Chains A and B, each alone.
Chain A
Amino acid sequence: DAGVIQSPRHEVTEMGQEVTLRCKPISGHNSLFWYRQTMMRGLELLIYFNNNVPIDDSGMPEDRFSAKMPNASFSTLKIQPSEPRDSAVYFCASSPTSEQFFGPGTRLTVL
């Protein structure tokens, strides 16, 4: 298996633009997680899905953030409109049960 796949690996955009981050979880994993990592705050859970259903989105910073999981093999995290303070590394992770496997991350820079 290729592991968790994220795209793009790097994204540079201007304030106000829409940003879409993509994730393909490991096949057979029934849980998917979106995290944000910054120097100041460390690793923060944004939202997680179980069997494609959003379970807990309390970590989503505000309404500008949204996440979808239309099927078991694909999820998106969208930021609209983006702001400079959204600059961070965004990780997707998937889990079969009690272990969690991370993708390589998307480094987002909002100018």
Chain B
Amino acid sequence: GQQLNQSPQSMFIQEGEDVSMNCTSSSIFNTWLWYKQDPGEGPVLLIALYKAGELTSNGRLTAQFGITRKDSFLNISASIPSDVGIYFCAGPSMRTGNQFYFGTGTSLTVIP
């Protein structure tokens, strides 16, 4: 299957700092999705990317779809305490389109 590797696994940062995390795959994706999961809740879709090279922003969040279609990154600017959570990358299977693959997640802790 298509494997997604996320890095880093965890991050501890000071409030106000910028954050960068990425996701790589051994095979190509046509869509990249970024989710955030708060404790005790389900993952919530933050940003969806549909085209290689695409750069999309959602408030303080910016994500890019890599040119090779095998990677994506997510940046968070000026972090705040409510950014705490686990961030997942995901993408639908190239073969079936219905099955989705998820990364292992990046756990973010923001220190006030």
Chain A residues engaging chain B, CB cutoff 8 angstroms: 4, 31, 33, 42-43, 45, 48, 50, 55-56, 91, 93, 95, 97-105, 107
What is the predominant secondary structure among interface residues of chain B facing chain A?
Answer: loop
B65 CB–A CB distance under 8 Å: no
Closest B residue, CB atoms, query A33: B100
Contacting pair B99 A48 (CB below 8 A): yes
Given the known interface contacts A31-B98, A43-B88, the answer about A100 and B41 at a Cβ–Cβ threshold of 8 Å is no
Q: How far is the CB of B23 from chain A (nearest CB, A)?
A: 14
Q: How far is the CB of B55 from chain A (nearest CB, A)?
A: 18
For window 27-49 of chain B, which residues contact chain A by CB distance below 8 Å? 30-31, 33, 35, 40-45, 48
Chain B interface residue count, Cβ-Cβ cutoff 8 angstroms: 23
Contacting pair B100 A100 (CB below 8 A): yes
B104 CB–A CB distance under 8 Å: yes
Contacting pair B50 A98 (CB below 8 A): yes
Stretch among B14-22, B56-64, B75-83, B89-97 lining the A interface = B89-97
Contacting pair A102 B42 (CB below 8 A): yes
Choose from B30, B40, B48, B100 the contact partner of A45 (Cβ within 8 Å).
B100
Contacting pair A102 B43 (CB below 8 A): yes
Q: How far is the CB of A57 from chain B (nearest CB, A)?
A: 12
Closest A residue, CB atoms, query B102: A43
Q: How far is the CB of A86 from chain B (nearest CB, A)?
A: 19
